[in-house]
Amino acid sequence: MKYNRIIAHILSLIMVLSLVCATPDDSIMRVKAQSKSDVKACWVSYQDINAVLKDKSEADFKSALNIMYDNIIDHKMDTVIMHVRAMGDAMYPSSYYPWSTYISSDRGNPGYDPLKIMVELAHAKGLRFEAWVNPYRISLSNTTTNSFKATEYYSKYSSYIIEYESGEQTCLVLDPSKQEARDLITNGVMEIVSNYQVDAIHFDDYFYVSGMMDQLPEATKKENVNKLVKQVYGAIKSVNPDCLFGISPAGNLSNARAQGADIDTWLSQDGYVDYIMPQIYWSDNYKTGSGNVAMFTNRCNEWKAINTKDKPIYVGLALYRVGEKSEIDLGWSSSSDNLARQYQIAHNLGYDGFGLFRYEWLNMDVSATELINLESQIDIIEGKYSGDNGALISYTTHVQDYGWQSTKSDGVLSGTTGEAKRLEAISISLGKGLGTGGVTYRTHCQDYGWLPWVSDGSLSGTTGEAKRIEAIQIKLTGEISKNYDIYYRVHAQDYGWLDWASNGEAAGTATYSKRLEAIQIVLVEKGDDAPGNTEAHYITRTIAYQTHVQDYGWQGFAYDGQASGTTGKSKRLEGIKIKLTDGLYEGNVIYRTHCQDYGWLPWVSEGELSGTTGKSKRLEAIEIKLTGQAGEYYDIYYRVHCQDYGWMPWVSNGESAGTTGKSKRLEAIEIKLVPKN
């Protein structure tokens, strides 16, 4: 699997990261707080520290930490959220807390300052460093409770410590209602901000957890927590105004509020937080009593709705759930592009980045494909390319059985050939430095037809539904469209490579139920030659029709100039249905027939019956025309085979074909759409 990851990364284009540094302070290169849309973070929890960094010499600690940071960078992240206080303890020499057992088993001083090394090495490698603090939690099991009680700090703080039961475990927590507890937490935060050049202080979702004073009203819990949050915010800014303060609450808004997280106030008023990172740990294939719902998307929308001051908001993603077999949250086992799709959804909703929980899963085989797909999505969303020094256009496809492929650019094939694998979705993005404007595109999808237009890195198609893409349209917008033409060609089932389409033309085989298997896309400066032939880029049935024939009943559909009915058998046409088939343009086909004993019948459209069945009435003439955009792009031609006349001349666009007042039956018809001019 490691070999596969190396190959995948070779195939992927390397993302160019822009990092902004300030003047070095005490030989520490500080990475300034980033603007919105910059954060791609990884949580490193006390479990990760315990597994990787515990009980090491300074040299071994630095070596292990160096590997950890390189791994985070290799996965295209720019921020580490490091647990520095998980259980009323410290990963650094503290005046307020004992040494953490996750850095030193016996709570002894390891002989160096781990946090100092963590921050300095992170900044040296261009990573932002956020110090992750559990404000209230002291222990979460009998073992950790006994460990803390054995320290001098238990008796020192006992007057504002709550002991509660969780399951069969005895747990300790600082009492949120006590000012002494708030002062202790605040002093601990100020100690970090004063002594280390951290880029942010990060609280997680551990407030009033289950079993901890459950009888308290929600309003009281919020009031107590808010006092701490506001006090900590003010303290941080008094020491270092550039240091951010963020909170990562539970992703279920109701649960977060019930735990005392006053998310509505934090996101609607100043003086509480600089950012929010809700833990939206669900997929978009979540089973409920009323059917499957897009739980991830729904929760993202709910969080955005309460962010009335447009504070930076990042989405917490559940890396630890990839591949999980759940009877309720089905998406984790049915798809390998959950994280990529979730990041794209959040980005399209205006989120400003993401955090992955947690580090350990970066190294697991079950995560490999999800991470590769996420990294490709990062490439697209971040717009890593820049003018002549990079790609003009980049794209990635979601392929049957393989999931999201690595990002391709400037005419490189994306997808497969010779493997009979369908393209299921595509995302397209322009490089930087091309001017104002963008790229917009839509796909013709199995069972859905033409999907709505999307743009600039959004997904078109489906994932997790086993639906093939059958055709695509792509065009440029704004200033870019004046300087470039966009060309694209597709590899289609049974046809192979079709010719190049351009500037919004359709490419593929819509209405023939043929899958697209691969695509190439290039930008060409205006006036330059096309990359190849441009004639046969779209194979489609544009119009379908069927007739009801005397003695035979309804015939099968005919398409695009084929004859429907009979000749040489003296059989009358009695009814007809006509419809447009590929939906490329908006508009309808409308038609009416002149029927024995009835004369001209009312106009009907799009597959409705004109004429009669079961009444032995002949059709004698027909008029057909197009409406809307279809009529702007096509002329409709038709001719009829008429009793005693044979095939009559072609007519078009609403003209009458056949006879009236002569009692002559129509016996067959041919209909074609012809592009204007």
Give the model's confidence band at 483: pLDDT under 50 very low, under 70 low, under 90 confident, else very high: very high
- CA 105, CA 401: separation in Å to the nearest integer? 46
- CA 82, CA 69: separation in Å to the nearest integer? 11
- Among 195-199, 201-205, 460-464, 589-593, the range scoring the smallest mean pLDDT is 460-464
Same-domain status, 374 and 408:
no
Give the model's confidence band at 6: pLDDT under 50 very low, under 70 low, under 90 confident, else very high: very low
Q: Are 31 and 127 in contact (CB under 8 A)?
A: yes
* CATH number (domain holding residue 121): 3.20.20.80
- CA 506, CA 475: separation in Å to the nearest integer? 10
Same-domain status, 492 and 607:
no
* Rounded mean pLDDT, 39-61: 97
Helix axes 218-239, 179-195, angle to 10 degrees: 30
- CA 135, CA 86: separation in Å to the nearest integer? 8
Is residue 301 helix, strand or coil? Answer: helix
Domain assignment present for 149: no
Q: Is the pLDDT of residue 210 over 80?
A: yes
Strands 244-247 and 275-276: parallel
Boundaries of domain holding 373: 2-133+179-382
List CB contacts of 181: < 8 A, sequence separation 6 or more. Answer: 136, 157, 160, 174, 175, 228
- CA 97, CA 664: separation in Å to the nearest integer? 101
Q: List alpha helices for 248-319, DSSP H.
A: 253-258, 263-266, 295-306
Domain assignment present for 496: yes
Give the model's confidence band at 251: pLDDT under 50 very low, under 70 low, under 90 confident, else very high: very high
Residues 372-401: tens digit of each pLDDT: 888 877 876 765 533 334 578 989 899 998
Q: Is the pLDDT of residue 464 over 90?
A: no
* Rounded mean pLDDT, 77-105: 97
Structural tokens at position 94 = 């503290």
- Among 14-18, 159-163, 407-411, 548-552, the range scoring the smallest mean pLDDT is 14-18
Question: Where on the phi/psi map is residue 208: left (φ > 0), alpha (ψ -120 to 50), or beta?
Answer: beta
Same-domain status, 453 and 510:
yes
- Among 25-39, 195-209, 574-588, the range scoring the smallest mean pLDDT is 25-39
- Among 43-52, 250-259, 455-464, 634-643, the range scoring the smallest mean pLDDT is 455-464
Q: Is the pLDDT of residue 38 over 80?
A: no
CB atoms within 10 A of CB 520: 21
Structural tokens at position 343 = 């990041």
- Among 88-92, 172-176, 342-346, the range scoring the smallest mean pLDDT is 342-346
Same-domain status, 304 and 204:
yes
Same-domain status, 360 and 391:
no
Q: Are 533 and 502 in contact (CB under 8 A)?
A: no
pLDDT of res. 25 = 33
Domain assignment present for 168: no
Choosing from 344, 365, 382, the residue where a domain stops is 382
Phi, psi dihedrals of residue 160, rounded to the nearest 5°: -130, 35
The beta strand positions in 204-303, using DSSP E, are 244-247, 275-276, 286-288, 291-293
B/e letters for 436-461, b = 16+ CB within 10 Å, e = fewer, are: ebbbbbbbbbbeebbbeebbbbbbbb
Same-domain status, 255 and 361:
yes
* Rounded mean pLDDT, 571-596: 95
Q: Is the pLDDT of residue 284 over 80?
A: yes
Same-domain status, 185 and 211:
yes
What is the torsion angle, in degrees rounded to the nearest 10, for the CA atoms of residue 547, residue 549, residue 553 and residue 558?
-30
Percent of the chain with pLDDT over 70: 93
Name which of 335, 421, 329, 430 is nearest 379 in CA terms. 430
pTM of the model: 0.62
pLDDT of res. 383 = 56
Give the model's confidence band at 289: pLDDT under 50 very low, under 70 low, under 90 confident, else very high: confident
Domain assignment present for 408: yes
Domain assignment present for 449: yes
Residues 121-161: tens digit of each pLDDT: 999 999 999 999 999 999 999 999 999 999 999 999 999 99
Same-domain status, 76 and 118:
yes
Same-domain status, 428 and 491:
yes
Choosing from 460, 494, 525, the residue where a domain stops is 525
pLDDT of res. 13 = 30
Choosing from 360, 382, 404, the residue where a domain stops is 382
Structural tokens at position 62 = 């630095």
Same-domain status, 461 and 605:
no
Same-domain status, 332 and 466:
no
Bridge partners, residue 44, by sequence:
82
Task: Work out how many domains the chain is built from and give that number.
Answer: 3
- CA 203, CA 260: separation in Å to the nearest integer? 13
* Rounded mean pLDDT, 74-83: 96
Domain assignment present for 532: no
Percent of the chain with pLDDT over 90: 79
pLDDT of res. 447 = 93
Q: Are 237 and 229 in contact (CB under 8 A)?
A: no
CA 595 to chain centre: 55
Domain assignment present for 140: no
Same-domain status, 222 and 352:
yes
Q: Are 225 and 262 in contact (CB under 8 A)?
A: yes
